[in-house]
């Protein structure tokens, strides 16, 4: 028989060990954390959208790991694969669809947060106009259609601009690269542009990074130094990221 204890852990009368979640250090206790996850979808018409291949697994792993380590977590979730949010007990979940909605929701969540993690894959562009009716091929003269695109909001840069004293901001960068050196170079350039405290960089491709249970990342600190490298399950990567956050916060 099991009874519910503090933090959702079970206190068992038998000699079997408690769930692994109960054994984790509570080293993020007292922190309020906002995490984004998933991929935004920018509507073209009621049927189609511009999107990306993000499953939301890494952001969910970050949120779950932070909560398991004692933090109060708000998870702002764009589109995620089926089942990704199944383990969201104890999290405050805010669902969004577009980059603009994500921008607003993360700004709200960041107001009271000690740590903000932008793990969501945000569409860089959206259609300049969204049609209220399905765009039909027979309504176009010629073999193709041209869509005018405009840039979406830079959510991470906006969070950095609005950062309050004592707040730690973590960004993510997914890059298609030919070498580890190129990955670091691109990550350092992005970190310099964005001004985050930490940037988690990973290589992606047709069979790498997205839609996978595993990940491999490098964590860069302001100034470009490598402060952590991690590979394995996305939960293992999440814990490595939180270790880096603890280190940079002192």
Provide the annotated active-site residues: 52
Q: What is the dihedral of CA 194, 195, 196, 201, to 10 degrees?
A: 50
As a whole number of Å, the end-to-end CA separation of the chain is: 41
Count how many residues are written for the chain. 250
List CB contacts of 143: < 8 A, sequence separation 6 or more: none
Q: Apex CA 111: angle with CA 106 and CA 115, to 5°? A: 75
User: In sequence order, what are the beta bridge partners of 110?
Assistant: none
- H-helix or E-strand containing 186? helix 180-194
């Amino acid at each position: 028989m099991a009874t519910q204890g503090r933090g959702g852990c079970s206190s068992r009368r038998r000699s079997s060990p408690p769930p692994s979640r109960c054994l984790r250090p509570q080293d993020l206790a007292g922190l309020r954390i906002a995490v984004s996850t998933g991929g935004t979808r920018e509507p073209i018409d009621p049927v189609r959208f511009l999107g990306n291949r993000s499953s939301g697994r890494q952001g969910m792993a970050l949120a779950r790991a932070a909560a398991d380590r004692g933090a109060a977590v708000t998870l702002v979730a764009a589109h995620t694969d089926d089942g990704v949010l199944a383990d969201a007990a104890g999290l405050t979940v805010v669902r969004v669809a577009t980059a603009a909605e994500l921008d607003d929701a993360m700004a709200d969540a960041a107001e009271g947060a000690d740590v903000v993690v932008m793990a969501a894959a945000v569409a860089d562009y959206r259609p300049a106009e969204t049609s209220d009716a399905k765009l039909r091929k027979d309504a176009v003269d010629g073999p193709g259609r041209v869509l005018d695109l405009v840039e979406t909001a830079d959510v991470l840069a906006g969070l950095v601009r609005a950062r309050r004293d004592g707040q730690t901001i973590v960004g993510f960068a997914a890059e298609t690269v030919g070498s580890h050196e190129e990955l670091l170079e691109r990550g350092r350039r992005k970190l310099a542009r964005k001004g985050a405290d930490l940037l988690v960089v990973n290589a992606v491709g047709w069979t790498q990074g997205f839609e996978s249970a595993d990940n491999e990342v490098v964590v860069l600190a302001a100034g470009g130094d490598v402060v952590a490298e991690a590979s394995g399950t996305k939960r293992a990567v999440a814990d490595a990221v939180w270790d880096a956050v603890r280190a940079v916060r002192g």
